[in-house]
Chain A
Amino acid sequence: MANRKTKSNKSYIKDNAELSLLCLPSFLKVIIFSYVPFLWLTIAFQNFIPRKGIFGSTFVGFKNFEVLFTSPDTMTMIRNAIAINALCIIFSTIVSVLLGLFLYEITSKLLLKFSQTVIIFPYFVSWPLIAIIVSSLIGDQTGMIADLYSKITGAELNAYSSPWVWWPILTFLYVWKTSGLSAVTYYAVLIGTDKSIYEAAKIDGASRFRTMFQISLPMLKLMIILNVIMSCANILRIDFNMIYYVTQDKSALLETTNVIETFMYRALRGSGASYEVTTAIGLVQAAVGFVLTMIVNKVCRKIGGTSLF
């Protein structure tokens, strides 16, 4: 008995040593590339002089944050991020769930395969390429969408100089790019469910729409809720590539398209705010992201039994 115990203990230690070794490369990578940069977050509390580095620069307390929160730009950036993210979450959820339900109704194998392949395709296309297509559609008056717009409304569409058209455009593009892929994951949940309930409903004379919305949709409910909650954790974060390339970094559009990521990029290129203020807003963004993710994780564990970590 004692012998067996020491033996299993030995193998437990050996297993754990091996498993730790498997994690070692990624552990080092994450330390070097993600954790060490945290040191330079102290810039947010300093009057930073690049030549002297963080150890030579003087601390100024929360002065940079005061500058940050008295600047009107900050509120605009936060508003833009929340608005664009909220629109993207709402519309991509609606569209992807509908597409998932539609896919489930398709019985023809060929059409099913073809439609899945088509709708996930935009996910694999880069934002710069999408930006090129967009600018050919609305860039000048001959563009297909611009032409259509002027025919319908009689007014010219000057998209690259009118900031307020960009929330709808970016939302549309985001939905167009990502909802096909999420639709397929919703569809995958549906094909994993019990078929007998559908047969029962069919015998009872339920219409197709009725089965879609009263049987299929409730089966997806949990997954939809979890997805929405998880996206809410990133409400202040936006894909830099989407904003930067699609709006072509036009300064005329900053009123609605200036977000923290593009603000940081301009600071880095020396055409924006100071390093200190930019790092400060980065720190605020990270802190908000952290708190929201912790809350989201708790909520998801409670209602869905799943969590990120």
Chain B
Amino acid sequence: MIKKRIKGNYNGQKAIVIALLCFYMALVIVPFVILVCGSFSSSDAIKDVGARPWIQGFTIEAYQLVFENPYQILKSYGITILVTVVGTVLNVALCSMTAYALARPNFKFKRILSFFYAFTIMFQAGFIPTYIWYRNYLNIYNTIWVLILSPCFVVGHVVMLRAFYSAVPKSLYEAVKIDGGSEFRMFLTIATPLILPGIATVAFYTVLIYWNDPFTAMLYTDDIVPISLYLTRLQQYIALLREAAAGKMGGINPGDVSIPENTLVFAMAMVTSAPIMFIFVFFQKFFLGGLTAGSIKE
């Protein structure tokens, strides 16, 4: 009798836990449903009723407008893809090389170099010194290089990979040493293939950093517009258009503006983030694996 009551209590509490988790998941999902549905809704319905998590008057006019003049979008997409691919390869290479060296107990400069890298997270020069240096002396202002190099080499990723490399069994190192293998060979053919889940996790984080970075372009370029900045510019432009329609242009009814202004930003947001969502769906399993493996080893 008592045992049964405890059992019932036990399952009842489990139901509460599941209910709370589902509530949180709903909080996560609903905003994206609003975004997706908004992008397929008619602009007038959104204007009258507001964005809701269901489609109001199905239409693809917003997407048509996004792709009506695809030149700028394709250009921005090209810039973002180039920057993301080159940047990710570079960041993963630099971080894994550094992390491997810092994980080796026989490396003489281990401590001093660790401090050298960690110092850059603690103490940063700020926007203005960096801006003057990039623009007036390094001459990478308004080039594709600033977008690739400025966010490159994330010290946090080095810390993460170092934990992975440290977990590689010592005996493997010794075996390679006895065979007369060099540190390079050890790094390339033994240690790195063993920690591929960690490399994949870092690569995934890096793709994200580059893809979702309007900030570097906003600060250090004039006319190189990656897709994330393009989205922000479009949003600002539409906000201006609305203000103009509502106030300063007096007699004009906002409804007269011929573009689907209420849904265009939604459609554009979908177009800019579709690749990230795609990558996420395909790699989340791999990513979750690397994430949990890394934290256990730490």
A16 to chain B: closest residue by CB? B108
Residue B27 CB within 8 A of the other chain: yes
**In whole angstroms, what is the CA distance A136 to B291 when docked?**
33
Q: From DSSP, what is the main secondary structure of chain B's interface residues?
A: helix
Instruction: Tell which of B3, B24, B38, B48 touches A99, judged by Cβ atoms closer than 8 Å.
Output: B24
Q: Is the CB of B17 within 8 A of A184?
A: no
Q: Is the CB of B101 within 8 A of A136?
A: no
Residue A26 CB within 8 A of the other chain: yes
A residues less than 8 Å from B147 (CB atoms):
none
B52 to chain A: closest residue by CB? A144
Given A289-B123, A293-B122, CB of A275 within 8 Å of CB of B128: yes
- B282 CB, min distance to chain A CBs, angstroms: 12
Residue of B93, B127, B152, B276 with most partner-chain A CB within 10 A? B127
Per the 8 Å Cβ criterion, residues 74-113 of A in contact with B are 98-99, 102-103, 105-106, 111, 113
Instruction: Tell which of A102, A121, A192, A264 touches B126, judged by Cβ atoms closer than 8 Å.
Output: A264
**In whole angstroms, what is the CA distance A26 to B132 when docked?**
22
- A207 CB, min distance to chain B CBs, angstroms: 6
Range of interface residues on chain A?
35 or more
Given A15-B106, A115-B21, A309-B114, CB of A132 within 8 Å of CB of B126: no
B29 to chain A: closest residue by CB? A118
Instruction: Tell which of A121, A131, A208, A248 touches B28, judged by Cβ atoms closer than 8 Å.
Output: A121
- A190 CB, min distance to chain B CBs, angstroms: 10
Residue A133 CB within 8 A of the other chain: yes
Residue B231 CB within 8 A of the other chain: yes
Given A16-B106, A129-B269, A132-B269, CB of A115 within 8 Å of CB of B25: yes
A275 to chain B: closest residue by CB? B128
A residues less than 8 Å from B183 (CB atoms):
15, 18-19, 22
Q: From DSSP, what is the main secondary structure of chain A's interface residues?
A: helix
A119 to chain B: closest residue by CB? B28
Q: Is the CB of B28 within 8 A of A268?
A: no
B residues less than 8 Å from A185 (CB atoms):
291-292, 295
- A257 CB, min distance to chain B CBs, angstroms: 17
Q: Is the CB of A40 within 8 A of B129?
A: yes
Q: Contact flags (1/0) for A267-288 with B, using CB distance below 8 Å?
A: 1100000010011001101110
A289 to chain B: closest residue by CB? B122
A residues less than 8 Å from B116 (CB atoms):
27, 30
Please choose the segment from B6-14, B59-67, B71-79, B81-89 that sits at the chain A interface, where 4 or more of its residues have CB less than 8 A away: B6-14
Instruction: Tell which of B13, B100, B127, B269 touches A268, judged by Cβ atoms closer than 8 Å.
Output: B127
Residue B249 CB within 8 A of the other chain: no
A residues less than 8 Å from B52 (CB atoms):
144
Instruction: Tell which of B50, B93, B102, B285 touches A143, judged by Cβ atoms closer than 8 Å.
Output: B50
Given A102-B20, A142-B50, A265-B219, CB of A117 within 8 Å of CB of B284: yes
Given A19-B107, A106-B21, A128-B228, CB of A25 within 8 Å of CB of B28: no
B residues less than 8 Å from A289 (CB atoms):
122-124
**In whole angstroms, what is the CA distance A264 to B47 when docked?**
36
Instruction: Tell which of A16, A18, A241, A286 touches B215, judged by Cβ atoms closer than 8 Å.
Output: A241
Residue A34 CB within 8 A of the other chain: yes
A residues less than 8 Å from B101 (CB atoms):
19-20, 22-23
**In whole angstroms, what is the CA distance A141 to B48 when docked?**
10
Q: Is the CB of A188 within 8 A of B291?
A: yes
Q: Is the CB of A184 within 8 A of B97?
A: no
Q: Is the CB of B25 within 8 A of A133?
A: no
Q: Is the CB of A207 within 8 A of B10?
A: yes
Q: Contact flags (1/0) for B135-179 with A, using CB distance below 8 Å?
A: 010100000000001101100001100000000000000000100
Q: Is the CB of B28 within 8 A of A267?
A: no
Instruction: Tell which of A30, A40, A102, A103 touches B153, judged by Cβ atoms closer than 8 Å.
Output: A30
B94 to chain A: closest residue by CB? A26
Q: Is the CB of B24 within 8 A of A119?
A: yes
Q: List the 5 closest pairs (A to B, CB-CB), nearest first.
A: A282-B126, A142-B50, A40-B129, A126-B212, A188-B292
Residues of A in contact with B (beta carbons under 8 Å apart): 11-12, 14-16, 18-20, 22-23, 25-27, 29-30, 32-41, 43, 50, 53, 98-99, 102-103, 105-106, 111, 113, 115-122, 124-129, 131-133, 135-137, 140-144, 146-147, 176, 180-181, 184-185, 187-189, 191-192, 205, 207-209, 212, 233, 240-241, 244-245, 248, 261, 264-265, 267-268, 275, 278-279, 282-283, 285-287, 289-290, 293-294, 306, 308-309
Given contacts A37-B129, A131-B235, 8 further A-B contacts (CB under 8 A): A30-B116, A117-B284, A120-B288, A142-B50, A188-B296, A208-B14, A264-B126, A290-B122
